[in-house]
Amino acid sequence: MACNTVQVNDYSRFDFSEGTAKNKKAYRDAHWEEDLAKAREAGERMARTNE
């Protein structure tokens, strides 16, 4: 499940609540490696299932 994803490259161009860009960047920085590993594992499971 994708949660708290970065939706745009430049949050200053849109009307988001204050701190949205900072919060999303902090979350991404803190969880990137774990989320990447989970995505890889999910892809491997799907590939095995469709063989």
Indicate yes or no: pTM above 0.85: no
Give per-residue pLDDT as tens, 5-38.
Answer: 777 788 778 777 767 878 888 988 999 999 999 9
> Which amino acid appears at position 47 of this protein?
A
pLDDT higher for 2 or 48? 48
pLDDT at residue 46, as a whole number = 92
pLDDT at residue 21, as a whole number = 78
Mapping DSSP onto H, E and C, the string for the chain reads CCCCCCCCCCHHHCCCCCCHHHHHHHHHHHHHHHHHHHHHHHHHHHHHHCC
